[in-house]
Amino acid sequence: MHIYLGMFKFGQHKLTKMHIISTKALGLSALRTLVFEGSKIELSDEVIQKIQECRDYLDQKIEATTDPIYGINTGFGSLYDVRIHSENLTKLQENLVRSHACGTGDHVPQPIIKLMLLLKIKSLSYGHSGIQLETVNRLVSFYNNDILPVIYTQGSLGASGDLAPLAHLALPLIGEGMVWYKGVQTPASEVLQAFDWTPITLQSKEGLALLNGTQFMTAYGIHSLLKSFKLSYLADLIGTLSLDAYDGRIEPFDPLVHLVRPHNGQIKTAERILSFLEKSELMQQPKKHVQDPYSFRCMPQVHGATKDTLAFVKNTFITEINAVTDNPNIFIREDKIISGGNFHGQPLAFGFDFLKIAMAELGNISERRTYQLVSGLRELPSFLVEKSGLNSGFMIPQYTAASIVSANKQLATPASVDSIVSSNGQEDHVSMGANAAIQAYQILENVERVLAIELLNASQAMFFRNQKTSPFLTAILSSFRSEIPKVTEDRVLHNDIDKAIKFIQTLELENDVLFD
């Protein structure tokens, strides 16, 4: 059942559709729709042709030349000058996959694994990787049947591609490793047998095509961007609710203020806040104070800077997911096989670090608004509860938010300024983009919690106001309060915070609102 509330809808209903993988660029809106609808995928005729032509070219090239071609008839990394005989080319690729599957740590969340499959297929679809069509089709089958390789969060330096995570992604192709199937970890060999599939026999270059690439980072990047855009919108919404509950002033959001400092995000934030406040009786009542604290007054400037950063990061990741990121690259028309460095994750590492800082700041300013709400100011009771002293009320949720915000400051330290030498010095500069990806994921989980705590406080503060907020905010409050009633005396607020987080998670924005 859907409950529509303005631009929101509560709950999900996925319709299975078919998405055709072509050489046309994928955008963030299309990706979100694809993920949200649970669409199956299929290769276009153009993509099939490109993959086959590239494979045929590579086979002919190997047969016609005795020259060493990196990763095709040579070893890998610092073993680049070790020649491999033709009868061992399949063994070479299989050994590559096995030897590099040494990830550890936590499990990568299954939705991100599914994105990894999709983005690997997309990168291979351009016909510059020398992959077999059979191999890509098997990846498509994995995606469509929710057969998700078990992958671990630790192991990638974000430079020679996401080697360890992508090795775990590739293992089930050869019937090895573990997969998530129907929510259970199962040996890949058993799942292949259940579908009557034989393991793929990897041909020359294929292991390298599968392992070189940035799909671990980009999958986390797309997931993080989708969540970031949603949290950016919700920060505006919840911040506006807090502003009205704090009996704040509307003048700082006047368009005249922002047109003389015309940063796009700043203008958009002010416009959005004004729209949320339309017809608020509380906002229109006379004020006893001349100014509000920065955490309220400067929402356009702070939230807006995050929006502008998201626009930059979005451009970086959308460019990357529509690119060829393995190595070497094969160019049929030019008759060249070139070993380069498209697997290096430096653009993504910078993007993640910018994203981390920008999103951490949304949590930072949110916690400051929560602090103001519980401080006994503006005719609100101390800690937003009657009989404070006997009741501690909302004293400690602010502590929790402060703890989370400080954790985010630590996680937001740039990962991209780090590097370490690997592979006997051949890979002497790495991006650390994979570490940044995990940190960004953690920061976003934390920001969601901090905003949920602010929403909990703003809802409680609004109980003490005689005037009504705007119709739009009233509708949000009404739905929220059906889950979390007023706190009249102390209770276990962990449960309320948990419900507030789930409330935020169930709010779904339409694409045109999310990416406006």
Share of the chain above pLDDT 70, in %: 94
Of 144, 169, 110, whose CA–CA distance to 20 is shortest? 144
Give the pLDDT confidence of 217-267 residue by residue, as tens digits. Answer: 999 999 999 999 999 999 999 999 999 999 999 999 999 999 999 999 999
The one-letter code for the residue type at 415 is A
**Structure pTM?**
0.94
Q: What is the pLDDT of residue 4?
A: 37
Q: Quick check: is 246 catalytic?
A: no
Q: Which residue has the tokens 């192991």?
A: 155
pLDDT of 83 > 50? The answer is yes
SS3 43: strand
Is 210 within 8 Å of 200 (Cβ atoms)?
no
| 88: pLDDT strictly greater than 80 | no
Among 4, 70, 143, 246, the active-site one is 70
Percentage of the chain lying above the pLDDT 90 cut: 82
**Overall average pLDDT of the 275-279 stretch:** 97
Q: What is the pLDDT of residues 453-511, one digit of tens each?
A: 999 999 999 999 989 999 999 999 999 999 999 999 999 999 999 999 999 999 988 88
Question: What integer is the mean pLDDT of 368-373?
Answer: 98
456 CB contacts (<8 Å, ≥6 apart)? 394, 397, 484, 493, 496, 497, 500
Query: Cα separation of 397 and 454, whole Å?
Result: 9
Per-residue pLDDT, 35: 84
* pLDDT score recorded for residue 81: 64
Kindly state the DSSP code that residue 87 receives in the 8-state scheme: G
pLDDT value for 304 = 98
CA angle 339, 343, 345 (to 5 degrees): 145
The pLDDT, as a whole number, for residue 3 is 34
pLDDT value at residue 512: 81
pLDDT average, residue stretch 415-433: 87
Largest separation between any pair of C-alpha atoms in the chain: 87
Judge whether 50 and 324 are in contact, CB under 8 Å.
no
The pLDDT score that the predictor gives to residue 73 is: 73
Q: Which residues contact 333 (CB under 8 A, 6 or more apart)?
A: none
Q: Extract the tokens encoding 426.
A: 């051949």
Angle between helices 133-144 and 110-124 (to 10 degrees): 150
Q: Mean pLDDT throughout 26-30?
A: 92
Q: What is the pLDDT of residue 288?
A: 93
Q: Would you tell me the crossing angle of helices 299-321 and 346-373 to the nearest 10 degrees?
A: 150
Which of the residue ranges 81-85, 272-276, 355-359, 382-386 would you say has the lowest mean pLDDT?
81-85
Which tens digits make up the pLDDT trace of 31-62?
Answer: 998 888 889 999 999 999 999 999 999 999 88
User: Residue 160 above 90 pLDDT?
Assistant: no
Specify the pLDDT at position 86: 67
Query: 5 falls in which pLDDT band (50, 70, 90)?
Result: very low
148, 179 Cβ separation under 8 angstroms: yes
For residues 136 and 387, what is the distance between their CA atoms, to the nearest angstrom?
66
Query: Is residue 367 predicted with pLDDT exceeding 60?
Result: yes
Give the total residue count for the chain.
516
Q: Residue 79 pLDDT > 70, yes or no?
A: no
Write the pLDDT tens digit of every residue in 388-423. Answer: 899 999 999 999 999 999 999 999 999 999 988 887
Mean pLDDT lowest among 10-19, 197-206, 219-228, 319-328:
10-19
- Full DSSP string of 474-514: HHHHHHHHHHS---SS---HHHHHHHHHHHHHHEEE-HHHH
Mean pLDDT in residue range 267-291: 97
**Phi, psi torsion values for 30, nearest 5 degrees:** -65, -40
E-strand spans in 125-244? 148-149, 152-154, 178-181, 184-187
DSSP codes, 419-443: ---BGGGTB-----HHHHHHHHHHH
Look at residue 404 and give its three-state secondary structure. Answer: helix
Rounded distance between C-alpha atoms, residue 449 and residue 327, angstroms: 40
The answer on pLDDT for 74 being more than 80 is: no
The single residue listed with the structure tokens 């991209």 is 416
Instruction: Say what the pLDDT of residue 444 is.
Output: 98
